[in-house]
């Protein structure tokens, strides 16, 4: 089968080539999938996409008319897919439900540690010959309360790691996880988690219920000066409300690996361009904000597992018309 891989970066090519059998012809495309670029999948039976590809009604309509039967996501999240439209057009959607929860959880912890001890500022200072400590004061993680929102694969992993630092763990999830209660995580309502946590870390999927879960009201319930970490999906936080929260001191530290409007920015080198997103640029002006460009998943182990599962989805679809990990409804 011919496979059109959208949003290809050199590392995608490296890991997909290693995972692919010779039975498929792989066509790598740098462009994102949109309703306008979908025609590039001409001749393909399956397309492979990533987090910022727009698998909406328009794109699915074009894909279906070209004879594409499968959209294989190289991600766990599928908030960029119109599932109702996929069902209507008879296009199978597959994803990689679990590849390396350790990769994303370790990145969330990296953000926590960097922000707490001001590593991002210390790095720049020392390179500039400035060895003053003023402004770099941190706090011990030991004894602090960490609130985990969403305790699935990644959230549970974060809870385990933070437990190792001697933190108290509270969590909020619509489906509590026994792996968490067994290590002493206490499930509480979201309002109580926000009120008690020194660090709030988000690991639920983006759904209509979680869109702007962290808004002005939620921020007003947080412990003053608490740290907020989002490595899940950008739109779980209302970015304007978070900017206001940092300006007022309600939020003491902010670590983001994802951003509401990241589709226009992330995964490309834009260092020669003028960034026109004023809200994003405002975030970059704060000394207590650390942003990475959606790299939580970016480890060797995760990329290998993503490529292996993606090819397993495509192989199964080519043989049986069904993928291994099909997405049929919002989870
Ligand atoms: P998962 O499905 O294992 O866990 C998600 C948890 O969120 C589940 O326990 C679920 O019950 C809970 N949940 C769902 N709706 C909720 C709600 N309304 N309120 C509270 N909790 C809710 O998923 P996972 O593998 O742990 O991944 C979590 C998210 O991380 C993904 O959805 C994705 O958006 C994000 N992610 C980011 C990266 C990255 O590179 N930054 C990589 C992979 C995944």
* Terminal alpha carbon distance of the chain: 29
Tell how far the Cα of 196 is from the centroid of ligand 1, in angstroms: 22
Characterize 34-43 residue by residue with b for buried, 16 or more Cβ atoms within 10 angstroms of its Cβ, and e for exposed: bbebbebbee
Give the mean model confidence (pLDDT) for residues 74-78. 93
Residue nearest to atom 25 of ligand 1 (CA): 153
Give the mean model confidence (pLDDT) for residues 260-285. 96
Most informative mutation of 203, 230, 259 for ligand 1 (most atoms within 8 A of CB): 203
Looking at residue 257, what DSSP letter applies?
S
pLDDT of 22 above 90: no
CA 109 to chain CA centroid, nearest Å: 14
Kindly report, residue by residue over 195-210, the tens digit of the pLDDT: 999 999 999 999 999 9
Largest CA distance in the chain: 64
pTM of the entire predicted model: 0.93
> Strand, helix or coil at 300?
helix
Residues marked active site are found at 233, 262, 294
Tell how far the Cα of 331 is from the centroid of ligand 1, in angstroms: 9
How much is the pLDDT for 23?
A: 86
pLDDT of 330 above 90: no
Tell how far the Cα of 219 is from the centroid of ligand 1, in angstroms: 20
As a whole number of angstroms, the distance between CA 162 and CA 154 comes to: 12
* Ligand 1 atom nearest to CA at 177: 9
Tell how far the Cα of 224 is from the centroid of ligand 1, in angstroms: 26
pLDDT of 265 above 60: yes
In CATH, the number for domain 2-99+300-320 is 3.40.50.720
Residue nearest to atom 4 of ligand 1 (CA): 152
pLDDT of 329 above 90: no
More confidently predicted of 77 and 171? 171
Most informative mutation of 152, 237, 329 for ligand 1 (most atoms within 8 A of CB): 152
**pLDDT, the chain, mean:** 97
- Enumerate residues lining ligand 1, CB below 6 A: 76-77, 98, 101, 104, 149-155, 172-175, 177, 203-207, 209-210, 231-233, 257-258, 294, 296-297, 331
How much is the pLDDT for 328?
A: 87
How much is the pLDDT for 331?
A: 55
List the domain boundaries for the chain: 2-99+300-320, 101-291
Looking at residue 206, what DSSP letter applies?
P
Tell how far the Cα of 204 is from the centroid of ligand 1, in angstroms: 3
Is CATH 3.90.1170.10 what the domain over 101-291 is classified as, yes or no? no
Looking at residue 104, what DSSP letter applies?
H
User: Are the folds of 2-99+300-320 and 101-291 the same?
Assistant: yes
Residue nearest to atom 32 of ligand 1 (CA): 205
């Amino acid at each position: 089968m011919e496979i059109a891989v959208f949003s290809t970066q050199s590392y995608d090519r490296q890991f997909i080539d290693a995972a692919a059998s010779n039975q498929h012809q792989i066509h790598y495309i740098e462009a994102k999938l949109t309703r306008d670029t979908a025609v590039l999948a001409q001749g393909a039976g399956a397309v492979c996409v990533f987090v910022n590809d727009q698998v909406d009604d328009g794109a699915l309509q074009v894909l279906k008319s070209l004879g594409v039967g499968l959209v294989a996501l190289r991600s766990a999240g599928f908030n960029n897919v119109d599932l109702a439209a996929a069902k209507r057009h008879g296009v199978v959607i597959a994803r990689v439900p679990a590849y390396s929860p350790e990769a994303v959880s370790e990145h969330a912890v990296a953000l926590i540690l960097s922000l707490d001890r001001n590593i991002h500022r210390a790095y720049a200072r020392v390179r500039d010959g400035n060895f003053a400590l003023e402004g770099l004061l941190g706090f011990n993680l030991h004894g602090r309360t960490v609130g985990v929102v969403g305790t699935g694969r990644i959230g549970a992993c974060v809870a385990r790691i933070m437990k190792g630092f001697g933190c108290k763990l509270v969590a909020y999830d619509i489906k509590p996880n026994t792996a968490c209660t067994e290590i002493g995580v206490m499930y509480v309502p979201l309002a109580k988690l926000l009120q008690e946590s020194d660090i709030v870390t988000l690991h639920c999927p983006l759904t209509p219920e979680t869109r702007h879960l962290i808004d002005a009201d939620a921020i007003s319930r947080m412990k003053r000066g608490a740290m907020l970490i989002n490595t899940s999906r950008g739109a779980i936080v209302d970015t304007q409300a978070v900017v206001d929260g940092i300006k007022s001191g309600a939020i003491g530290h902010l670590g983001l690996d994802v951003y509401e409007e990241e589709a226009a920015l992330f995964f490309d080198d834009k260092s020669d361009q003028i960034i026109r997103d004023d809200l994003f640029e405002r975030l970059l002006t704060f000394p207590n904000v650390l942003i990475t460009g959606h790299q939580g998943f970016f480890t060797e182990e995760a990329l290998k597992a993503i490529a292996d599962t993606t090819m397993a989805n495509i192989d199964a679809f080519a043989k049986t018309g069904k993928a291994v990990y099909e997405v049929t409804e919002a989870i």
